[in-house]
Amino acid sequence: MRRRYCLLALLIMTFFYGHLHAEECIFNSERWDAVLADVRARATAQGISDETINATLRNPAFIPSIVKSDRNQSEFKLTLNEYLNKTVNSVRVVRGRQMREKYPTMLSRVDNTYGLPPHVILAFWGMESNYGEVKSRHRLVDAFITLMYDGRREKFFGEQLLALMKIADANQLDINNIRGSWAGAMGHFQFIPTTLVTYGVDGNNDGQIDIINSVGDAMASAGNYLNKLGWNKSERIVRRVILPADFDTSLLDGKTKKTLTEWAGMGVLNPDNTAIPTGNMVAGLVADVANIGTASPDDFNPDTDVAPRPVITAYLTYPNFYRIKRWNNSNWYAIAIAELADKLK
């Protein structure tokens, strides 16, 4: 049966957003039905059970707000300090320490099995879901089919839906009870389905992998994922450093990599002006280039009438930093993980 969603979409969008362009309220029922037929055909070809296929396609809902979110993702960019103040705050640190006391056995098991220390796992958990406090509200079936219908990234979201169906099959889950973000991330560590299929682990040995309701499964899956990314527990993530005021800022996006000895030769120092460790380890440098400060009139020395040369605060970024970026490709996110992990040691 063809569904008529245009009026409903118009009412919902008008209620929440106050206005709607005419082209946004045109719901193409033939397009919707074609998407559903494609899902059924692909799922059948990939051996997904009829039970899961029928459950997935029983009553999917078109969610206009999800389309709006996908089309209008904010371009606003916080400064590094603003981002760290928001993500590495005292409340999150206290909560992380409480979680360390609550789950010592699970954290030790992840450390022993996957080489991920408790403070690192806790940092990811805190950043991704505030230790499970952030609850997802969208049925993932609705989110993925809505985004497939919209068409901008139909292939990607189709792959996510099929992966979700396989997860439901393998773990005897009701697919219509699986909820996540509008973009399809789910659980304590906000995995998308294809990541869960590849790296999911049954951490509590109950025969299922449920990263939404089982902290043990979620922690083990995160540890397995980071382990497969090559995490080295003997190496730090970043080192806060200072640079000369005339340092070439084009080198500060993390993409240029040099040995520690080479960076030291270019004037990179610890914040207390002592020498950084040297050697052949390769690292990058990251700084908030757009917000590098300059000396103010108050900095002038009244005896010499010369302003001190301001230094640049930056981070040496070691291999684990780049492993974090394969989880979330953001310099600010990787630095926040490092800062939060340090506070949770």
Whole-number pLDDT of residue 11: 43
Which token pair is 135?
A: 């609850």
Q: Per mean pLDDT, which range of 12-26, 103-117, 176-190, 300-314 is the poorest?
A: 12-26
Asked whether residue 282 is domain-assigned, the answer is: yes
- For 258, phi and psi rounded to 5 degrees? -140, 165
Structure confidence at residue 25 as a pLDDT band (50, 70, 90): low
Q: What is the mean pLDDT of the chain?
A: 88
Q: What's the pTM?
A: 0.85
Asked whether residue 267 is domain-assigned, the answer is: yes
Whole-number pLDDT of residue 109: 97
For residue 294, pLDDT beyond 70: no
Percent of the chain's residues with pLDDT above 90:
77
- Boundaries of domain holding 251: 238-317
Structure confidence at residue 137 as a pLDDT band (50, 70, 90): confident
For residue 161, pLDDT beyond 60: yes
- Cα–Cα dist 80/58, whole Å: 46
Strand order in the sheet with 282-286: 238-243, 312-317, 282-286, 258-259
Asked whether residue 161 is domain-assigned, the answer is: no
Asked whether residue 288 is domain-assigned, the answer is: yes
| Residues contacting residue 64 through CB under 8 Å, at least 6 positions apart | 9, 12, 13, 24
Q: Which of 205, 207, 185 lies closest to 194 in space, CA to CA?
A: 185
Asked whether residue 213 is domain-assigned, the answer is: no
One-letter identity of residue 243: L
What is the average per-residue pLDDT within 316-344?
A: 97
Asked whether residue 312 is domain-assigned, the answer is: yes
- Cα–Cα dist 40/145, whole Å: 12
What burial letters (b/e) apply to 273-290, b meaning 16+ CB within 10 Å?
Answer: eeebeeeeeebbbbbbee
Whole-number pLDDT of residue 74: 57
What is the average per-residue pLDDT within 265-269?
A: 96
| Residue 158, number of CB atoms within 10 A of its CB | 18
Structural domain count, the chain: 1
One-letter identity of residue 293: G
